[in-house]
A and B are shown apart, each in its own frame.
Chain A
Amino acid sequence: MSEIVLETRNVTRDYSIGGGLFSKQKTVHALKGIDLKLEKGKTLAVVGESGCGKSTLARIITMIDAPTSGEVLIDGQPVDITAGPLSSEMRRKVQIVFQNPYGSLNPRQKIGDVLMEPLNIDGSVPVSERRERAMGMLEKIGLLPEHFNRYPHMFSGGQRQRIAIARALMLNPQLLVLDEPVSALDLSVQAQVLNLLADLQDEFSLTYVFISHDLSVVRYIADEVMVMYFGEAVEYGTRDEVFSNPQHNYTKTLFAATPRADVESIKKRLAAKVA
């Protein structure tokens, strides 16, 4: 497989803040030239601390925000949202799942309506088929048909995140941007959602951009890893390259800071404590 689904060329994004009556306008460089290429069916993990530009990158890839300079190519086609409305075909290709499943579902919308809304907006699926499609998706994510008419508050965090994933998949996208999809979830539920993502990737040959700060999750799920630090990609390579031989100091700090839960490191820590 060598089909490139996503490519960015020297993407930058500046935000200007302030500029009111009393303060001078300041420019924040949220992204400072990001280049990446992602093949179909692969997972790119973007790692970094809060404020490093991970989510800005996600917004640009999802075509919510326009880059200040640089080019974004989705499925080989250049995208420019400032030039005018995009075709619904283009919009269909990329979908996003947000971090907090408690905030990203409308509490007054039934699950069935949540799932059918993308179809209603897109309009390419006939009205008569929409309900069926939503039911099918519900099953795929491991929920039951009777959940169709329930409200989000009746579900646990893990189930809600699965619903959010299902909503993103309703239009058969090629690229799914996952912005910290499991960091709000408990360990036991996290495993289920990660498994679901892996199953879906196999079934639909989806491409993932997986944003996370949890290195153990990244190590498990990613094919390629990009480490971001203050708007720059300080490290970009395959998972094994990055994990076995980190080049940048920040990556090393990040690895050193990740808590280790294996027996050897516990023994080492306890020995150090006695001494």
Chain B
Amino acid sequence: MTKADTPLLEIENLTVEFDTASGNLKAVDGVSLSVHEREVLAIVGESGSGKSVSMLAVMGLLPWTARVTADALRFQGRDISNLTSSERRKLVGKDVAMIFQEPIASLNPCFTVGFQIDETLREHTKLNKRERRDRTIELFEAVGLPNPEDRLSAYPHQMSGGQCQRVMIAMAIACDPKLLIADEPTTALDVTIQKQILDLLVDLQAEKNMGMIMITHDMGVVAETADRVIVKYKGRKMEEADVLSLFENPQNSYTKALLSALPENATGDRLPTVTDLTFEQQANPEASA
């Protein structure tokens, strides 16, 4: 793997806090990470571990109630922590694109999918109407949608979940982003469709030399796509390793517990469990690490 000297995205000591009725909540607690060109970084963790929030913070998509602090937030060496909203709009959607978990919910039901992709192209490129249409068809072909020309005038509800996710991917790669953030791209989909979407993402990533961040809770998805893995728990980074050493020789006790809870690794007739970590038993992950 070739690694450019400056990482595509560099985050140092990112913290995201929310004020809640029951006090201050640190959703992300001092997380550092970096992604290089042509690299797939997987962030894995259970719900509430802050994996999505950290990426939304990078994209500037968090509500104003969130307090985001970071020592550094750099994209291709450029500081992006204090961008004005118009500067951010130029970056997000063009150089950094994101795919969300619920494909059907993240498309606008009132507009055709052709129009919604056209919107992205209109914002970020200088193509004229004709060229944008051709580009959209080209994108639909790239993501493997059948009859791309007919699809232009289809509404999200007329398509299946897998097809909607393909539209989302087409929209995300419309402007050839340098970094693609995929937030649980296959969680809502069937396994056979999941396989197709993951293959598609990995192929596109290799073809276009993109950096990719894959956010997931599924160890299987990690094993099938990632180069490097970050395991998160309760807003903190538990472990960072390349994918092979993580599965072969996990260092952190939480990672070990997580891997042994995979049903396919079951040896006896009961699964080993990660200790029940509920709101009542505030376990301290470091104590067991």
Contact = CB atoms under 8 A, between A and B. Distances in A.
Interface of A: 49-50, 142, 154-159, 186-192, 194-195, 198, 213-217, 219-221, 253-254, 256-263, 265-267, 269-270, 273
Interface stretch (B81-89, B104-112, B116-124, B263-271): B263-271
Interface residues of B, number: 42
Given A187-B46, A254-B192, A261 B247 contact: yes
12 contacts: A154-B279, A156-B278, A156-B279, A187-B262, A188-B46, A188-B258, A198-B270, A257-B192, A260-B220, A261-B220, A263-B247, A273-B206
B261 to A, nearest CB: 4
Chain B at the A interface: mostly helix, strand, loop or mixed?
helix
B217 A259 contact: no
A155 B273 CA distance: 18
B263 A216 contact: yes
A192 B273 contact: yes
A231 B264 CA distance: 28
Contacts of B148: none
Interface of B: 46-47, 161, 190-195, 198, 206, 217-224, 243-244, 247-248, 257-259, 261-266, 269-274, 276-279
A241 to B, nearest CB: 18
Contacts of B223: 259-262, 265-266, 269
Contacts of A154: 279
A168 to B, nearest CB: 21
Given A260-B220, A261-B247, 12 more contacts: A49-B190, A158-B276, A187-B217, A188-B258, A188-B261, A198-B270, A215-B191, A216-B220, A216-B263, A254-B191, A262-B223, A265-B223
Nearest to A215: B191
A263 B249 CA distance: 10
A263 B244 contact: yes
Chain A at the B interface: mostly helix, strand, loop or mixed?
helix
Given A157-B47, A198-B270, A261 B192 contact: no
Given A213-B191, A266-B247, A261 B262 contact: yes
A215 B261 CA distance: 15
A219 B262 CA distance: 11
* In the complex, the 10 A-B pairs of residues with the closest C-beta atoms, listed nearest first: A259-B220, A188-B274, A186-B46, A257-B195, A220-B263, A191-B271, A49-B190, A191-B261, A261-B223, A216-B264
